[in-house]
Structure 1
Amino acid sequence: MRTDIFARLDREPEPPKIEIPRMTRTRLALFGGTAVFYLAIVVAVLLSTWLVLLDWKIMLFRPYQQWPELHAFLDYYVVLGQRGPTAVMVAAWLGWRSWRQHTLRPLLALGAALLLLNVTVGAVKLGLGRLGPHYATQIGSAELFAGGDIFPSGHTANGVVTWGILAYLATTPRARRYLSALSAVVALGVGLTTVYLGTHWLSDVLLGWAAGLLILLALPWCEPVIARAEAFILDQRAQLRARRRTAPSRPVAAGGPRPALYPPRPAAVPAGEHEAHEGPVREPVGAGSGRAAAARGTNPLATPSRAHAHPHGHAHARGERTPVTKSGSRRPPHSRPATGG
């Protein structure tokens, strides 16, 4: 039995009604406020304001040395913000959701969110080129345009997007509230863990939270594209299956022989027609004895040879040749062997 997503869609082609988030006024206001906060963080770092001084104070405080007993646990906890492991876990869950809801939208929404995350966060990282705390060269400096790639924090932004997509795709208000709280706790914990480990500045984490939240708030604008992508995938699959059903079998030339499972047995060649076949011509049995009898002046037919006698009284025509195939090979004679008297 097929248990994949497409099999579920085949059994019940009409998906249930799923409420798709819209770009409401509240969401639009949150998006605008988050965008302003994002720009404020970038400007504060570019101008080396009090935020950069706070970054250095936390870095010199070295939290991983103040509370070393937390280091082992937080080394594992920060994996919840790594893109590879979290994307696999969330994709497995959303794949099951797609099967249950008879739609590809959950997986496509995750793909769209991760694509936006890679493009936006990656572009800012490479554009600003900030160095991390462990590679800082001058106290009090923002360490920008130095070939780094830690501003904003990718772990933090990925934690917001990957776990926040579960709340975005929730189908009931209660589930949305619980999943929103869970994703917020995970994302906050991942960001603060990177500060504890000294891999990011505090401003990196603040900008990572804002970057991830902007992507989640902007997802309703991507819903028409997601719907068209789902329709296109299902249409291509339907066309492929239709071509497989109507694909003709291997053509056979008109009038040509069809391949046989076993090669045909060669037909027996009648006596006297050996001239038309290839291969060496052999004389019938007894021809040599006839010539010898003629040379002695006796009649070869006067005394029949014992070799020609049949135990049941039937005589064999020993003068008939053994059938010869077209390739020159000989088949064993079909007559029963002669026995002595």
Structure 2
Amino acid sequence: MVQFGYTMMTEQAGPRALVDHVVGAERAGFDFSVTSDHYFPWLDSQGHSPYAWSVLGAAAQATYRIPLMTYVTCPTKRYHPAVIAQKAATMQLLSEGRFRLGLGSGEQLNEHVVGGGWPSARTRVEMLEEAVGIIRALLAGDVVNHRGAHFEVDNAKLWDLPDTPPPLGIAVSGERSCSLAGRLADLVIATEPKSELLDAFDAHGGTGKPRVGQLPVCYDPDTDTAVARAHEQFRWSVGPWPVNAELPNPAAFAGANEHVRPEDIAEAIPCGSDPDVFAEAVASYIDAGFTEIALIQIGGDHQEPFLDWSQKTLLPALRAL
């Protein structure tokens, strides 16, 4: 049975509001939740970017049922993989087994802040593979000494380990990342309803594993208002991912999508209050083979109406699919 999730979008709300939102998502009946992990918002108009791991810790204490997940954390530049392993183990303990660690190769937008340059896409995938090995070993309770092509770990050991390590997901966008995910991940993560990504994941060992997608939506009783808000805050999302991964700051994203029109956004993102429109977009992920779909409600100040509508209208419509 397909599950439907809620996104704590750190780029559009402060830390206390994000925790309130996921509490509301749990109350509304969402099956799981995911959390972005950024240093910058995509656009200035979004206006936020708190530290995701503090938000997750607070969310683990404020909720009791809903699973939590990073969507996604980059374990190669801003965070060292040994530190990611410690954070993931702690989150699994705090949440009493409700945490999943989603990993990806990152975007320059968030990783450039620590300096050292931005590696090529091929190098980023190599770094991610090496990082996954370090994280897996530490979560297994090993003492890790590692001298690799990209990372060093000196006599590391985690002292607070959960009985069951958090499942590890890897975000994919092409053949190399699908190969890595199929071989090393417990689940796959994608932001586009492309069945070819899941086919490549399966071809490398992913058959039978969960596959998690994500879809931006913009609920509002007035469709024009929803389209305007989605255009203001989410027009960056229609850009090609290889380009988005290379842009360094919100100003660059604003320049890259300055010619995106509201009508372009209306075609790409479900807007308004017709549940059939939202369900049609979700169905594209189901048809592609996704087993879980996390929704992003665009607009940090517009979560409560969306959650109320979701409980009464949207989630019943989606589950009818």
- TM, length-normalised to structure 1: 0.23
Higher strand share: 2
Higher helix share: 1
Name the structure, 1 or 2, with higher relative contact order (CA <8 Å, separation 6+): 2
